[in-house]
Every structure is written in C-alpha cells, then in structure tokens.
Amino acid sequence: MPSEGVSVPVRNVLVFGETGVGKSSLINLVIGSNSAKTSPDADPCTNRTLPYDVNIRGEKFKIWDTAGLDEGKPSGAKRTAAAEKTLKRSLRNLLKNNDLSLLIYCVRGSRATRALVRHYQTICSETCNSTVPMVIVVTALENSSGDMESWWQRNGEDLSKHGMNFADHACITTVGDSSCDTGIARQRRAQSQEIVRDLIFRNRLDREGSESGHVLPAEGRGTVRIWIRLRLMFQVTTRG
C-alpha cells in the first residue's frame, strides 16, 4: 500500500474495435456498472473517447471507450473517417505523454478476419514506436459450444497467420445479467468479468517497475521497437 501523500499511478487502457462489437459493454463488465452507453442499433452508439475509472486489485485504471471503426460499408465513409481521426488523436495524446498502459482490441466472435486486419493495422501504424502491449478480447461467446476459451483454439492461429499478434487474449461474453438469462449465461458473464480484469492486470505496462505486468527495462525498449517495426514491415509487404 502506498504511504500517505504518495500519488498512486493511474494506468490508462484504451479499448478499440469495430462498431457494435461490444466495446462499451466490455467496459461496463469491467467496471461493474452500466455507466457506458450501449445500443443494439446498427448505427454507432459511442462517438467520443470517454474514460471510466476502475480499481483492479488495488491499482487504479482509467479505461477509455472509443468510437467504433467501420465495417467497410461505403455508406458510412464520412463517419468512419471521423471516428478513426478521433481514435488516432486520443491514442497519440496518450502515447505522447507516455501514459498508455494497455491496448485492448475488442472483436466479436463471428466477424470476418479482413476487417479485423485493417483495424489492427490502423492502430499498429500509430503505435509502432511504442512498447504498449496489445491484447484481444473476443465477445459474444455466451452460446459458443464447448467453453468460451475454445474460440481461441479454433481461431487464434488464423489471426496470427493474418499478421495479427497479441500479447494475450480473453474469450468472453458481456451479456447474462438480465432476469431472463439462463444460468449458464449468468455464470459465463461472471467468469468473463474475472477473466478480463485478470487480463488487464496481468498485461498492464508497468513504467514504475513493479513485480507484475509487462515491465520493460530501459535497455530492452530499443529491441522491442525494432521488433515491432520489423513486424509491421513484414505485414505491409505480405498484404498485397
């Protein structure tokens, strides 16, 4: 426990992904309330970058909700460009101040890989000079056969083949808290809350040098940057 007068660091976590995949629902799950606005409509719900405070295992986190990226529909091109611009601006601000601890790529279990790659690359192009880890959270697995984690066994390798590599992953559902939900959905939701909180805690970039999370020694950072650049170059050359 920090002594009185010592400021406790707040770790920023930015959630990004396509419109409607469940980013705001994911944040509500993590913070344990319905503070972030969600919507079942096809139209985008969140259109600004907004912070939500949460304590995980005694540490303070600020989880940033962001405007959804597009699904590649030409009709929404203008809105898409605005959402991407807003997201990039928020990301740059956090990176500029060395203030970002974790990136969460939120995807829906059923979505196509092509859009996933595009959004992944959008963010990688902004973060290639940084050491911030990126993890993936897969939502809407409340009815998946087997346990939720089996989604990763079926699809994790495919993501990697498409050039998307993550420091860690979580397979979850954010639904299951209404009275008409089945016991299994409620159980999976409760399990999901623990899974995501653990994921955030385990993968937070720790600039203070505490025991857990991704602690990067000063001399290691250059190597990581070079590795990320090489990874990006490889992706760009294999895209066409």
Ligand X SMILES: Nc1nc2c(ncn2[C@@H]2O[C@H](COP(=O)(O)OP(=O)(O)OP(=O)(O)O)[C@@H](O)[C@H]2O)c(=O)[nH]1
Q: Which residues bind ligand X (CB under 6 A)?
A: 19-25, 38-40, 44-46, 68, 139-140, 142, 173-175
Q: Which residues from 20-39 bind Mg ion, rule CB under 5 A?
A: 23-24
Q: Which stretch binds Mg ion (CB under 5 A): 15-23, 118-126, 170-178, 230-238?
A: 15-23
The structure tokens listed for 183 are: 């016991």
Least Å distance, CB 140 to ligand X, is: 4
Q: Which of 45, 171, 199, 200 binds Mg ion (CB under 5 A)?
A: 45
Q: Which does 25 bind (CB under 5 to 8 A by kind): ligand X, Mg ion, none?
A: ligand X
Residue nearest to ligand X (CB): 68
Nearer to ligand X by Cβ, of 5 and 40: the residue is 40
Q: Which does 39 bind (CB under 5 to 8 A by kind): Mg ion, ligand X, none?
A: ligand X
Least Å distance, CB 188 to Mg ion, is: 21
Q: Which does 183 bind (CB under 5 to 8 A by kind): Mg ion, ligand X, none?
A: none
Q: Which does 19 bind (CB under 5 to 8 A by kind): Mg ion, ligand X, none?
A: ligand X
Least Å distance, CB 98 to Mg ion, is: 27
> Three-class SS string for 108-126?
ECCCCHHHHHHHHHHHHHH
Cβ neighbors of 138 (< 8 A, separation 6 or more) are 107, 108, 109, 151, 152, 155, 169, 170, 171, 172
* Parallel, antiparallel or unpaired: strands 59-65 and 134-139: unpaired
Q: Which does 44 bind (CB under 5 to 8 A by kind): Mg ion, ligand X, none?
A: ligand X
* Torsion angle, alpha carbons of 60, 64, 65, 69, to 10: -140
Closest Cα to residue 199, out of 106, 98, 66, 79?
106
Tell me the residue ranges of DSSP E strands in the chain.
10-16, 50-56, 59-65, 100-108, 134-139, 168-171
Q: Which does 21 bind (CB under 5 to 8 A by kind): Mg ion, ligand X, none?
A: ligand X
Least Å distance, CB 79 to ligand X, is: 10
3-state secondary structure of 1: coil
3-state secondary structure of 58: coil
Query: CA-CA distances (angstroms) from residue 93 to 32, 109, 123, 183, 235?
Result: 27, 30, 14, 43, 25
Nearer to Mg ion by Cβ, of 67 and 171: the residue is 67
Nearer to ligand X by Cβ, of 20 and 213: the residue is 20
- Catalog residues that contact Mg ion under the rule CB under 5 A: 23-24, 45-46
